[in-house]
Structure 1
């Protein structure tokens, strides 16, 4: 295998004109490969060296290489690379601020003065660090809940830690939703979850669920416990588990014992974490409403908006 083929293979089938010339091709050879159909242009001076469909990683490489020197995969596309959700059809890349943003088909180009600081130098495909990626997407989110959902997903999937996200947050001067992000990260770092309780309260009211007793006292495996939300008439308890960020075997066994103690009292326990309440609030509301109605609630939940899945 020739050197240019090895390079193209490492770049998921993508090569630039400059790379091809550096690795032994002439401009005439490149032109012949394009006109003969052996290569095809993805972006100006950026080519796929195969004729098959352009897979996601190949499209990412083409966008980064097509955007030029210093470009990195960023925002939602970098989040997809980090395994934090499906990437959107439009690819996002960031280039150094002093450069003019190139126009590439199907690519959104951001400019930043901090590209090099936020770049992950361990990754072969140039991209932003996971902490920078999470903050970039959270800041761009229309609502705090959408940003917090990504924060929860990143930590729960082991991609980063709350303290590292706090460091990234502190390093930025202007951050949309800063208060909400800082509150949840500080909660998680301290082992509390008041931010989660506030999010659940918002979820309840947005979907027309009845008001429960909050921090209701009850009997637990080791004595007195306080249930986060108790719908006493229906015998339903909701436990909000901020520790899901740091779930371990001891925590799971304690939760199991607590839920078993609730069952002895005749309570059905529903347990939700940050990723549930912040990431899928409509699903949580649907589950709570279904159990409440099955156990005698006469009310009706409501949709929180046109996209609500309730």
Structure 2
């Protein structure tokens, strides 16, 4: 006897998939196209694509949009790119568009609003994370594939650093996937960034500071040192150097969000409250560290930043 829509089988599966079902799944449950059409005509279900139906009406929640992409593309697809990173917990890198990885040879209609299908010749099963729930790529290949095709090298390095900083992977884990994914665009750049992260840098800002210090031969600073400002509030400074005369040189690095007036005024107040006798507080932007690092370094040297001992030939 065929299953009817009021039987629990389809409901259980729909609950696992944010309320969405594919026609292939419905056929497997014994619900033929006539039963499905009746549900749609009655206004209880909605046909989202020729391949996928929602068992509810109204806007799609975020997770349902993800299920829409993988159900439409079929079993060989997985959530990829920054969408996979979002599913796995990466913060502050979310994009509205859902990314789904599909085999390059797959023949299907790619016109699904809000979903971007990325074709790849790489073996998707090898990248898939074995876990219940929505099919998703491991965070390392998902992020590396996305980063490798960004127009900005800084963005590419930044997301890799963010994954490690947020403890969703390790430098060694990311490095292993760089090697596994050969050939990979910008692989050399990723290796360099990962080596710097392994050396103690956890964020792109720290990498920029390290590169600046190497460029002008000054000692690496203390990072994220805890201080109390003039109001008694606990602060963590970006970079500090202990000077030979007992003073402390502080460098605060401003990201692009500091261009906002409110943030800018907050930072000025922060600088005043961190300043005091024996404490020199200066600022630069991430753009300066990226594009004009040697000048930033020379300015710090002029303020007393300690130099590294020159290497002696043996």
Q: Name the CA shift for 1:133/1:127 in 2 (closer, same or farther; >3 Å).
A: same
5+ residue gaps, structure 1: 205-211, 216-225, 229-238, 242-254, 306-310
Corresponding residue for residue 149 of structure 2: 140
**In the alignment, is residue 167 of structure 1 matched against residue 173 of structure 2?**
no
| Match in the other structure for 1:82 | 88
Cα contact 1:118–1:128 (8 A) shared by 2? yes
Distance 2:119 2:157 in 1: 24
Distance 1:154 1:303, change over 3 A: closer
Aligned partner of 1:112 in structure 2 is 120
Distance apart, 1:98 and its partner CA: 2.2
Q: Which residue of 1 aligns with 2:35?
A: 29
How has the CA–CA distance of structure 1 residues 86 and 43 changed in structure 2, closer, same or farther, with 3 Å as cutoff? farther
Partner of 1:93: 100
Kept in 1: contact 2:14–2:21 (CA 8 A): yes
Q: Out of 9, 12, 24, which is 1:3 matched to? A: 9
Residue of structure 2 equivalent to 1:15? 21
The alignment's TM-score, normalised by the length of structure 1, stands at 0.68
Contact 2:79 2:101 in 1 (8 A): yes
Distance across 2 between alignment mates of 1:181 and 1:42: 39
Q: 2:71 aligns with which of 60, 65, 74?
A: 65
Aligned to 1:232: none
Instruction: Classify the secondary structure of the residue corresponding to 1:94.
Output: strand
Question: 1:170 & 1:69 partners in 2: Cα distance?
Answer: 27
Offset, 1:89: 2.7
Structure whose CA Rg is larger: 2
Tell me the CA shift for residue 49 of structure 1: 0.5
CA distance in structure 1 between the partners assigned to 2:94 and 2:283 by the alignment: 36
- Equivalenced residue count is 256
Q: CA deviation at 1:302?
A: 8.6
Q: CA–CA distance in 2 between the matches of 1:25 and 1:12?
A: 19
CA offset digits 1:46-69 (Å, max 9, x no partner): 011011321000110011000123
CA–CA separation in structure 2 for the residues paired with 1:48 and 1:172: 36
User: 1:30, CA displacement in angstroms?
Assistant: 0.3
* Whole-Å separation in 2 of the counterparts to 1:303 and 1:151: 17
CA 1:10–1:192 in structure 2 vs 1: closer, same or farther (change >3 Å)?
closer
TM-score (norm 2): 0.67
What's the RMSD between the two structures over aligned residues? 4.2
